[in-house]
Structure 1
Amino acid sequence: MNSFELKISFDSEEEAEIIYKAILLEHKSSQIRSSATMEIHKNIITINVKAEDLSILKASIYSYLRWIGVAKNTYEICKS
């Protein structure tokens, strides 16, 4: 089993919580060929991804990074 841990820190707890909630639905529905846990603690979101196939693991990580990027950009647009 291949695994990867991703920790992303944000400027504030509020930003981390909003982004966490924004990607939560995608997180729950993406567990087809990989499994992942996602936790939030203060201003840090931690994502642990596991997959049998390395290419599936990589695709899952890219998906999380894309979702977080979109959510962060949206948050910044709405905040300004």
Structure 2
Amino acid sequence: MKALKQVEAQFEIEFDSQKEAEIVLSAIQPEICDSPSDRAMTEVKCENKVLFIYIKAQDSPSLRASINSYLRWITLSQQVLKLS
């Protein structure tokens, strides 16, 4: 059986407003710029009220870990926004 060379995921999250999407992007920007792992590469962009996330990783565990991390950070950002 041949191992996969790279795996990737792409998803989009729609927010209630463009401002909310931009705030969440700003909140996770430090994580994007200073990734703790060299095993995954992430691109995030905001268009209107949609956040587009593209992750390319060397293997499935790295991809899963990256997806989980970004979803947790986004969820946390949304929860903080609701408190304000």
TM-score interval (norm. to shorter): over 0.9
Hey, what does 1:37 align to over in structure 2?
43
Please provide the CA RMSD for this pair.
0.9
Q: Does 1:64 align with 2:65?
A: no
Return 5+ residue gaps in structure 2 as ranges.
Answer: 1-5
Which residue type is aligned with residue 21 of structure 1? S
The alignment-based identity, stated in percent, is: 35
SS of residue paired to 2:32: helix
Say how many residue pairs are matched.
Answer: 78
Question: 1:8-60 CA deviation, whole Å, 9 max, x = no partner?
Answer: 00000110010110110111111522001101000000010001110000000
Larger Rg: 2
TM-score with structure 2 setting the length: 0.89
Return 5+ residue gaps in structure 1 as ranges.
Answer: none
Runs of 4 or more off by more than 6 Å in structure 1? Answer: none
SS of residue paired to 2:77: helix
- Determine which structure has the larger helix proportion and give its number: 1
TM-score with structure 1 setting the length: 0.93
